[in-house]
Structure 1
Amino acid sequence: MFAKRLKQLRKKRKLTMQEVADYVGVAKSTYAGYESGYRQPTIESIQTISRKLRTSADYLLGLTEFPEPPTELNHNAKEYLNYEQLHWDGVPLERDDLELIRSLLERVLRDRTLPKEE
């Protein structure tokens, strides 16, 4: 998956292998090995490549399906809970889990907006 995504994004960004290799500080043949799956880059190289390709290391590594990094942090919990790949300390949250969390949050907000008894 890494090699395939690397090549797709490089082409999408209209970059040559030489341009990415120069940015990362490796030989073109080394970078070509990354795209073919013959070589594995270091963590530092993956971070550098992701910056050049304007994506996240998570996308390159197959941990997310979203190639475009978020432009700004979204603090709206309702929208955040629609994100399909949420996890809690590495344990994936299922759709039913997210529905339960949404219901609980809606209840908390409903309780907050009720008039206070005097």
Structure 2
Amino acid sequence: MFAKRLKELRKKRKLTMQEVADYVGVAKSTYAGYESGYRQPTLESIQTISRKLRTSTDYLLGLSDYPEPPAELNHNAKEYLNYEQLHWDGVPLEKGDLELIRNLLERVLRDRTPPKED
């Protein structure tokens, strides 16, 4: 079931095997093994794949029949910026890039927050 759902969702999201493999940090042949059922990914890889495919690990593992993530998923940008494998249109973001982005967003939020009254 895992391999079938993996392939179906990847195609539904219009992603190539290479795109998902790059995001997960594995070779395309390794990822192809996941889709064929020949290989089993680590739990960490399953979590990463679920983020790329915008689904839940429960769906991929056959514990849920709902491929779309629940509405209450946390979309906190601060948490996303802690992932080491973020990219912008396929260009990997390095640790320094992410630090600059975090600092910029913190500055934006500081500027938007009204000053405390004494």
Q: Does the pair score TM above 0.5?
A: yes
One-letter amino acid of the counterpart of residue 39, structure 1 = R
Q: Which runs of 5+ in 1 are unaligned?
A: 74-118
Work out the percentage of aligned pairs sharing the same amino acid: 90
For the pair shown, the structure with the greater C-alpha radius of gyration is 1
Q: Distance in 1 between matches of 2:64 and 2:14?
A: 22
Q: Distance in 2 between matches of 1:72 and 1:55?
A: 13
Offset at residue 38 of structure 1 (A): 0.2
One-letter amino acid of the counterpart of residue 46, structure 2 = I
For this pair of structures, how many residues does the alignment match?
73
Counterparts in 2 of 1:1-118, with a 5 A limit? 1-72=1-72
Give the 3-state SS of the residue equivalent to 1:68 in structure 2.
coil
Q: Distance in 2 between matches of 1:18 and 1:70?
A: 27
When normalised by structure 1's length, the TM-score is 0.61
Partner deviation per Cα, 1:17-52 (whole Å, 9 max, x = no partner): 000000000000000000000000000000000000
Q: Distance in 2 between matches of 1:72 and 1:29?
A: 34
Offset at residue 12 of structure 1 (A): 0.1
Offset at residue 71 of structure 1 (A): 1.3
RMSD: 0.9
Q: Which runs of 5+ in 2 are unaligned?
A: 74-118
Greater relative CO (CA pairs within 8 A, separation 6+): 2
Partner deviation per Cα, 1:61-86 (whole Å, 9 max, x = no partner): 0000000011127xxxxxxxxxxxxx
Aligned twin of 2:88:
none
Q: Distance in 1 between matches of 2:72 and 2:43?
A: 24
When normalised by structure 2's length, the TM-score is 0.61
